[in-house]
Amino acid sequence: MFQDSSRCIVIVGAQWGDEGKGKITDVLAEQATLVARYQGGANAGHTVLVDGEEFILHLIPSGAIVPSVKCVLGNGVVIDPWTLLEEIDELEARGIEIAERLIVSRRAHLVLPYHRLLDGARESLRGDAKIGTTKRGIGPAYRDKVSRTGVRVCELEDLSNCAGLVRAACAAANGLLASWGLEDRADPEQIMAELESIAPRIRALAGDSGATLLEELHGDGRVLLEGAQGSLLDVDHGTYPFVTSSNTTAGAAAAGVGIGPTLIDGVLGIVKAYTTRVGSGPLPTELEGHEADRLRKLGAEFGATTGRPRRPGWYDGAVVRHSAAVNGLTALAVTKLDVLDTFDEIRLGVGYTLDGAPLEAFPVRASELERVVPVYETAGGWGADTGQARAWGDLPAGARDYLERIEANAGVPIRYVSVGSARDQIVRAAIPRGA
Ligand code: GDP
Ligand code: IMO
Ligand code: MG
């Protein structure tokens, strides 16, 4: 992505999350000087595998494993400060020095214990209608942000003022919990005592994400803006209400770090060679029974944050076309191609019908998406190991054909194909263009 004059690239999940953003970010970080997160929080679980060592990152950008890369948590991220410090300590214990090259926006909102309490309580009250959140307090933290009752990182600079905000927020949260007939309560004094003990460490990381990025981009820097979740989990463009509580799509990247959109040169959409989703909500190409178990097992499809089994399905072209449109994708990275190596028959969703008629626009209502019938193209599998492929020509003809059909359906060029979780298992500049 950086091979031309581009300086600032957004990496965005183009399905329902877990597409392999962590792996691709790590691969591209070798050419970058700075990687920033722009939204979401510790609901994310981004896996990076380097020399057989696995790192699962929830808040810290996936560029962290490359030692020269600066890391930034933008103002659009919601930050659980205890999770952040744990992650820093864990990385440092494993020999990855991060604190000295990490900046956390002073404008970012904190996820505090009452957010987790409210997230869990709301989910249990929803019963069968639950969203299946990660229970990391994400929805309640963004709710406080837009309600203008949030506590930002900068509040840790004035703890007596911060205590007033935390007391008011706890009173509101406890009122809600009581009205729901629940006994759990948030204790503002305990929260403040715990915050006071970590405040110096957080203050030492605090800075201005926008100014840091501008300095990088006005110098010789190359920046990756790493999305979390996926486009179909975007609060506006996803399968509402079965979504997360932030804009995950590329349009949010500039606002989420504090730069202008004119500085962004490209948007790389990450797609699995099939589809998965965790939590509730429509998944038109979902597989059931034995086939689902097989794909889940081959792809190790268990959540990196919650350990929940992911729901697998065939590749859904209608989803990726919707993502291409709402993100302005300029390139695709297709991941986990190797997971399909042993399938005799592979189905590729190319569109939907609804009530027997082809559907052009992506449905707005989740209830409508529940009723669509995918239109599939079916092909024989390639029956060969792709894990060793490093160039387009190394891939079996059947796999190349499958990728070309994905590219044609999406209308976006494929630039990378990932054929295993390790850093070197990547095919770059995948499909040779004609003369
Ligand atoms: P993210 O949230 O988008 O960063 O993705 P996750 O890390 O949650 O899930 C992707 C999983 O697939 C991780 O366990 C990765 O190590 C793994 N992975 C990434 N790329 C590939 C690939 O090309 N092949 C295989 N087999 N696994 C991959
Ligand atoms: P990464 O960055 C997959 C899903 C949850 C739930 C919904 C709302 O690893 O791709 P939330 O806790 O955000 O309020 O949950 O969104 N979800 C994810 N699914 N990957 C993620 O992150 C996710 N983050 C949230 O399962 O359905
Ligand atoms: Mg993940």
Q: Which atom of ligand 2 is nearest to the CA of 139?
A: 14
| Ligand 3 ion local residues (Cβ < 5 A) | 18, 45, 304
Cα–Cα dist 48/45, whole Å? 10
Report the separation in Å between the CA atom of 81 and the middle of ligand 2, taken as the mean of its atom positions. 19
Contact 370, 404 (CB under 8 A): no
Q: Which atom of ligand 2 is nearest to the CA of 305?
A: 9
Give, using CA atoms, the residue closest to atom 25 of ligand 1.
420
Ligand that comes closest to the CA of residue 231: 2
Cα–Cα dist 24/268, whole Å? 10
In the annotation, is 401 catalytic? no
Question: Tens-digit pLDDT profile for the chain (435 aa)?
Answer: 665 577 999 999 999 999 999 999 999 999 999 999 999 999 999 999 999 999 999 999 999 999 999 999 999 999 999 999 999 999 999 999 999 999 999 999 999 999 999 999 999 999 999 999 999 999 999 999 999 999 999 999 999 999 999 999 999 999 999 999 999 999 999 999 999 999 999 999 999 999 999 999 999 999 999 999 999 999 999 999 999 999 999 999 999 999 999 999 999 999 999 999 999 999 999 999 999 999 999 999 999 888 899 999 999 999 999 999 999 999 999 999 999 999 999 999 999 999 999 999 999 999 999 999 999 999 999 999 999 999 999 999 999 999 999 999 999 999 999 999 999 999 997 666 543
Report the separation in Å between the CA atom of 47 and the middle of ligand 3, taken as the mean of its atom positions. 7
Give the ranges where 57-133 is alpha helix by DSSP (H).
81-93, 113-126
Catalytic residue among 26, 46, 144, 316: 46
What does the pLDDT look like over 390-399, one tens digit per residue? 999 999 999 9
Q: Which atom of ligand 2 is nearest to the CA of 281?
A: 27
Cα–Cα dist 425/217, whole Å? 30
What does the pLDDT look like over 181-220, one tens digit per residue? 999 999 999 999 999 999 999 999 999 999 999 999 999 9
In the annotation, is 237 catalytic? no
pLDDT at 132: 96
What does the pLDDT look like over 268-302, one tens digit per residue? 999 999 999 999 999 999 999 999 999 999 999 99
Ligand that comes closest to the CA of residue 308: 2
Give, using CA atoms, the residue closest to atom 21 of ligand 2.
229
The type of residue at 162 is: C
Cα–Cα dist 256/274, whole Å? 29
